[in-house]
Amino acid sequence: MARKPKAVDIRNRPVYHEYFIDDTFVAGALLLGTEVKALREGKASFNDAYCQFNKGELWLKSLHISPYSHGTDNNHDPLRDRKLLLKKRELSRLESKIKEKGYTIVPVRIFTSDKNLIKIEIGLARGKKLYDKRESIKARDNDRDLKRYLK
């Protein structure tokens, strides 16, 4: 009997502290077999990961996927660039938004779809200033105190 593959849900939590996420998109990714196996083990790091356009295609840069533990000498390069798969309409919309000042595209999470395909949720983001970060922390603390009080 075949085993069901382990579900993947890896989140980039610091991205919400650093950016305002205006819009999100779900993209497929061109991954190697050892990358998929490593992701199913939960071996990914979003440190400094971002998306960039190159000749009309969207590429995910500096996402660290650790080498697969049982891989051979044919294991993947952990920091290689990975192509993201989106519809042309979505790509053109993102590309026009990126040309505006202050916008960037960042990966928000990696997850498995209903068909056990690896998907990457990307967000159209604007950077936060220091005072915005302080306001976010204050609002989070107030919500936490309110929940404590209501319990």
Residue ranges covered by each domain of the chain: 9-150
CATH number for the segment(s) 9-150: 2.40.280.10
Give the Cα separation of 51 and 107 in Å (integer): 7
- Give the pLDDT confidence of 39-61 residue by residue, as tens digits: 888 888 888 888 999 998 999 99
- Give the pLDDT confidence of 67-120 residue by residue, as tens digits: 887 777 777 777 888 899 999 999 999 998 888 888 899 999 999 888 888 899
Cα-Cα-Cα-Cα torsion 52, 56, 57, 58, nearest 10 degrees, comes to 30
